[in-house]
Structure 1
Amino acid sequence: MQKFKRKVFYLGGFDPRGVRFYHQLYREQAGRYTGLAGQAVTVGGRRAGPDGSLVSVQWDVVNEGAGVAVDYEYLRWEDLIAKVWIRNPLPLAWRAARAYWGHARFMQFGRMRGLRSGPVITILYPPAFAVLIPLLLALVPALALSLVLPWWVGALAGIGISALLSGRLLAKLVVPWLLRFMTYHGALAANGPGAELDARLDQFAARIAAELDGDWDEVQIVTHSAGTILGMTLLRRVLALRGKPLPDHVVMVGLGQVVPVIGLRSDAGWYHADLAALADKAFRYVDISSPPDGAAYYNVNPLRLVAERHAARVDMLSPRFHLFYRPENYHGGWSNKYEAHFDYLRVGDRLSPLDFISLTAGPRTVDDAVAAFRTIP
């Protein structure tokens, strides 16, 4: 039987864990898919991409029962993320304060709130919690102890308790990660990609352009989280290199899209130009973003941020995770916000046409998967 051949390019978010973590995650989720679908999906080992390991890493995926063979290529930028990943809480607090001042000056919060109110809360709660939680954890025990002990003993005890507990509680509420995310993207909006990321995006574009006319039945350009921001810039570069429309079998998929974080900054002229340049280009884009995901912009077409009309064929979908997870496994609530943002890359307790393994290793094309998903009541 002739196999359906698929090429997948994956561009991930602002995460320093990199290719080893994501390869293992894919392997685990392929195992879940195998158990649910009855189709054995095997995931091969990692190998360096054709342009060297700093640019991409590849692995083979075979769904023998469905007759699908996948060449999966992970586009690497975790080394660049590691260079700007602030670990010390004091420099992080200082840099975040400066970044939020920039967001206050340039972010179109009114327009953002009109699009989706959830991400506004997600953006604003980290600095508030970063101040209030350590303060309350110090103040409450200090006041209580000062009733029976000298004030200075209560103050020292409160500071110690706050130092011991606040870091864990803030991490559980995803505050440090969000502060890093907003700090980085504030600089990205104001200053552009910079020399290293700019060169890496050019390398990614060259890799994708080189494969578009290959012997593939489908080519997917999959972006996740902050990768959806860079994905728009990347797609503009691919189209410029190609100099003609994309083949019909090429589709871009955005998972947990966060483009307005840059797209609604009034000082991000370089990014507005990238979005505007895509407005008259014909291509296929499928956006899968969950309304309960406080970091994602459900039903917000990134191309409409700068243009009234566009030539792309766009579908905006919610993955409706609640239909595919048992209640005890569903990532809801404040403490699960970080995990919920990664459910786009997982397989639930019931198969969805839009779960990550079904999309990338299943027998349906993206268009067929979207059509099948729309039939689910």
Structure 2
Amino acid sequence: MEKFKRKVFYLGGFDPRGVRFYHQLYREQVEKYARLAGEQMEVSARRSGPASSARWTVINHSAGVEADYEFLRWEDLVGKVWIRNPLSLAWRSIATYAAHARHMQFLRMRRLRPGPVITILYPPLLAVLIPLVLALVPALLLSLTFPFWIAALIGIGASVLFSGRLLNKLIVPWLLRFMYYNHSVAARGPGAEMDARLDQFAARIAEEMDGPYDEVIFASHSNGTIYAMSVLRRLFALRGGAPLPDNFTVLTLGQVVPVIALRKDASWYHADLKALDDKPFRLVDFSAPADGAAYHDVHPIRLVSDQCAARVDLLSPRFHLFYDPENYNSGWSNKYEAHFDYLRVGDRVSPVDYVSLTAGRRTIDEALAEFRMIA
């Protein structure tokens, strides 16, 4: 039997963990998928690829599918801007939210999806309130039996000891880093190194997209969905405006495009999106309504333009249908982990979970057709 050949490019989010973590995550999810689906599958070791990438091969023996998976790497650039000092993070967060107050279209964002507005605003509030409460409560209680200065010192010590752990559990530092990074990108652009990396990514996709594949998927997740639009603009430029192949699909997962697109000062990014409004291409977005970090049912091109020539599907992955209640509830109580469920397999196989789309027997359009038939 002739194999169905698929090429997958993956552009991840603002995460310093990089290819080692994501290769292991993908391998674990393939093992889970194979158990649930009763299929024989294997994932190769990762190897270096061209243009700042890593590659591995996925073979679904049962379905006759072979996927060449290419991970587009930028975790080294994330590491350079990953703020580790909490005082530095606090100081830069002040500048970040001052800029958001001036430039972010919060009212429009709220009309699109209220959840992400809460996600953006709660980190600075908690970063102030939690240390303050952890210092004041023990200080006030102890001041009933100790001199106030002793009670105050104990309260400050308790705050230093416990507030960091609690803030980390609520992913406040990660969200502050995310917001600072995107504030910097909105105001000044990606920077010379990231621009060069995006050029590499586009050139690499252009090199392969007309290759001997039955399907080519350019997948992106979280912060990667922002840069996916910039890569797509470069792709069209490299092809001289020629249409993309019919078997090429842009797949966005947990889309966060409005984080930059709704900044009034991000003119460079508005131009990237506007340049795509007359370009025919295939875009499929899966963003869950319950994911407070993502923008469900938000058309990225229509954020800046009234027209769009692309064929676009904006869908919810409907995780609740594919997880047992106890796992679904425990997963979604941790918002950070929930944002990675787009890359996981649930307690039951979905036609549109990430392994199904990248290593399954159906094309994306066939998978969507089956998904829509599920009540």
1:233 partnered with 2:230: yes
Shift of 1:329: 1.2
Shift of 1:50: 2.8
1:361 to 323, 339, 359: 359
Task: Output the CA distance in 1 between the equivalents of 2:105 and 2:314.
Answer: 22
User: What is the total number of aligned residue pairs between the two structures?
Assistant: 374
After superposition, residues 57-206 of structure 1 pair within 5 angstroms as 57-206=54-203
**SS at structure 2 position matched to 1:367:** helix
Tell me the alpha carbon deviations over residues 179-227 of structure 1, each in whole angstroms, 9 at most, x when there is no partner: 0000000000000011000000000000000001100000000000000
Instruction: Decide whether the 8 Å contact of 2:331 with 2:337 is kept in 1.
Output: no
1:320 to 318, 337, 361: 318
Task: Output the CA distance in 2 between the equivalents of 1:130 and 1:5.
Answer: 48
User: Residue 288 of structure 1 corresponds to which residue in structure 2?
Assistant: 286
Instruction: Decide whether the 8 Å contact of 2:54 with 2:71 is kept in 1.
Output: yes
Shift of 1:155: 0.4
Q: Structure 2 regions of 5+ residues with no counterpart?
A: none
User: Residue 253 of structure 1 corresponds to which residue in structure 2?
Assistant: 251
Task: Output the CA distance in 2 between the equivalents of 1:171 and 1:334.
Answer: 17
Tell me the alpha carbon deviations over residues 284-313 of structure 1, each in whole angstroms, 9 at most, x when there is no partner: 000000000000000001011011120000
Q: Alignment identity in percent? A: 70
Task: Output the CA distance in 1 between the equivalents of 2:217 and 2:127.
Answer: 39
Shift of 1:333: 7.8
Tell me the alpha carbon deviations over residues 143-199 of structure 1, each in whole angstroms, 9 at most, x when there is no partner: 000001110111011011111111111111110000000000000000001100000
Shift of 1:327: 1.6
1:350 to 348, 351, 362: 348
TM-score, with normalisation over the residues of structure 2?
0.99
After superposition, residues 3-22 of structure 1 pair within 5 angstroms as 3-22=3-22
TM-score, with normalisation over the residues of structure 1?
0.98
**SS at structure 1 position matched to 2:42:** strand
**SS at structure 2 position matched to 1:262:** helix
1:336 partnered with 2:343: no
Q: Structure 1 regions of 5+ residues with no counterpart?
A: none
- Runs of 4+ aligned structure 1 residues displaced above 6 Å come to none
Instruction: Decide whether the 8 Å contact of 1:331 with 1:337 is kept in 2.
Output: no
User: Residue 304 of structure 1 corresponds to which residue in structure 2?
Assistant: 302
Task: Output the CA distance in 1 between the equivalents of 2:50 and 2:94.
Answer: 41
Task: Output the CA distance in 2 between the equivalents of 1:139 and 1:40.
Answer: 58
1:264 to 262, 273, 276: 262
Q: CA RMSD in A?
A: 0.9
After superposition, residues 34-45 of structure 1 pair within 5 angstroms as 34-45=34-45
